[in-house]
Amino acid sequence: MSVQPHITAAIGAPRAINIKFPAGNQVGESGKPIQQRKLLTEALESIFKIKSANTILQSPYKWRRFPIIEEPVFIGESSGPTHPEAMPIGPALDELSKKITIYMQWLQEKIQCENKSPTPNEPYLSGLSTQLERCTDLLELIDSDVLDQYREILNTIATLELRGQGRFV
Amino acid sequence: MTSEYTTWDFTKEENVKFETWIDRINQIHTGNSDLRNNDVYLTIPQKRLSACKVGLFTTGGVHLKSDTPFDVDSEHGDPSYRIVDMNANSTDLMITHTHYNHVEADKDINCIFPIDRLRELEDQGIIGEIAPYSYNIMGFNPDPSELINKTAPTLADKYSADGVDLLFMTCG
């Protein structure tokens, strides 16, 4: 199971499944067994779909937007990198994603409403649709490039902290 | 939902992304060696998933708390492996790895090493059985020569001797 498909592809692997989740979370969010079980089961099942070497399948799931709502139950504590300035970036991105999703639902309702009208206002409809497309693109950006950059920032901070303690990494 | 899994393509942009990453790694780490698999083979599973003995492997630095941690202070990495008895309690496991953010996995090891989830799949009959041991490594190895020539063949032999039909691997 890969989270960096460009590395997996360049190195060469018989088969892989890529998921747009952060490194360390390939099999899901912490404390969410239903999500983890679903991801693991589907990954194992999809192995049987691959018929040629060097094939990487793309999982359809998006980080923090899993279709099943589940309250996390934690079973341990972390002593991992916890830079106070960096850690809020993740929740801030999640919050932004939520707001965009809510806005998209509102746009969809407006479009449906306008479509039902006996005399739909075409320029208004077109404007709403454009905004919906822009929101979709923005969500995709957060899921891929922004998440990658965030991951890089956290990894670099972890490295710097250890270097600061005199430990080479 | 598995029907919604599509094929990922290695585009020109992805290639540039990889080369940029390799350049950065070469600048940061001395003794880095860019080794790739020239020959990649695919073995088609001969059994149904419900009849397979499934093994677990991670490069995420997962080991028993009672075991010796991986050497994360060496600039050359650590190509050794740690054995995990798959009957172990998931709370008896820990991560020693400084090259990815494992804050979430520290709270719940199943994020990267789904040992509890595999047990549930075995109970539900989705998989046949769980392999008795997991042999894990820590992924930071700037020069993977020893990993390729010594550790990997050893681990392949061990999983094979344990009768593993299908090995689920996560990276770190």
Render pLDDT for B77-90 as a digit per residue (tens, 0 to 9).
Answer: 899 999 999 999 99
Q: What per-residue string of b and e applies to B70-91 under the rule 16 or more CB within 10 Å gives b?
A: bebeeeebbbebbebebeeebe
For residue A140, the distance in angstroms to the closest alpha carbon of chain B comes to 16
Average pLDDT over every residue of A84-102: 77
Token pair, residue B84, equals 């995990």
Q: What digits encode the pLDDT tens for the residues B29-58?
A: 778 888 888 899 999 999 999 999 999 999
* Among the partner residues B36, B45, B99, nearest to A10 by beta-carbon distance: B36
Cβ-defined contact of A14 to B75 (cutoff 8 Å): no
Mean pLDDT of B86-115: 91
pLDDT digits (tens, 9 = 90+) for A25-51: 899 988 999 999 999 999 999 989 999
- Residues of chain A found within 8 Å of residue B110, distances taken between Cβ atoms: 27-28, 30, 33, 36
Interchain CB contact of A24 with B (< 8 Å): yes
Is B7 close to A36, i.e. CB distance below 8 A? no
- Residue that is last in its domain, among A22, A38, A68: A68
| Alpha-helical regions (H) of chain A | 5-11, 33-46, 89-116, 122-141, 147-164
Look at residue A149 and give its three-state secondary structure.
helix
Strands (E), chain B: 6-7, 53-58, 62-64, 81-85, 93-95, 129-130, 133-137, 166-170
Contacts 24+ apart (CB under 8 A), B68-75: B69/B94, B69/B96, B70/B96, B70/B97, B70/B137, B70/B138, B72/A167, B72/A169, B72/B96, B72/B97, B72/B98, B72/B138, B72/B140, B73/A167, B73/A168, B73/A169, B74/A168, B75/A168, B75/B29, B75/B30, B75/B31, B75/B142
In a domain, A140, yes or no: yes
Q: Is pLDDT above 70 for B155? A: yes
What residues make up the domain containing A46?
A: 1-68
A128-150 per-position pLDDT tens digit: 999 999 999 998 888 767 876 77
Alpha helices per DSSP H over B64-113: 103-107
CA atoms of B137 and B135, how far apart (whole Å) = 7
Domain boundary pick from A41, A68, A95: A68
Mean pLDDT of the region A11-23: 91
- Are residues A100 and A36 part of one domain? no
* Closest residue of chain B to A43, computed from CA coordinates: B2
Q: Are A56 and A9 in contact (CB under 8 A)?
A: yes
Residues A92 and A117 in one domain: yes
Mean pLDDT of B102-116: 92
Number of domains in chain A: 2
Give the pLDDT score at B33: 85
For residues A86 and A166, membership in a common domain is answered with yes
Choice between A22 and A113, residue whose per-residue pLDDT is larger: A113
What pLDDT was estimated at residue B55? 98
Domain shared by A90 and A28, yes or no:
no
A86 and A168 share one domain: yes
Domain co-membership, A43 together with A104: no
For residue A169, pLDDT beyond 90: no
pLDDT at A161 over 90: no
The answer to whether A61 and A19 have CB atoms below 8 angstroms apart is yes
| Co-location of A98 and A62 in the same domain | no
Q: Evaluate whether residue A130 is within a structural domain.
A: yes
pLDDT band at A155 (very low <50, low <70, confident <90, very high): low
The pLDDT, as a whole number, for residue B99 is 80
User: Which of B15, B22, B65, B100 to probe by mutation at the A interface, max A CB count within 10 Å?
Assistant: B100
Cα A132 to Cα A126: distance, rounded to the nearest angstrom? 10
Determine whether the interchain pair A40/B118 forms a contact, defined as Cβ–Cβ distance below 8 Å: yes
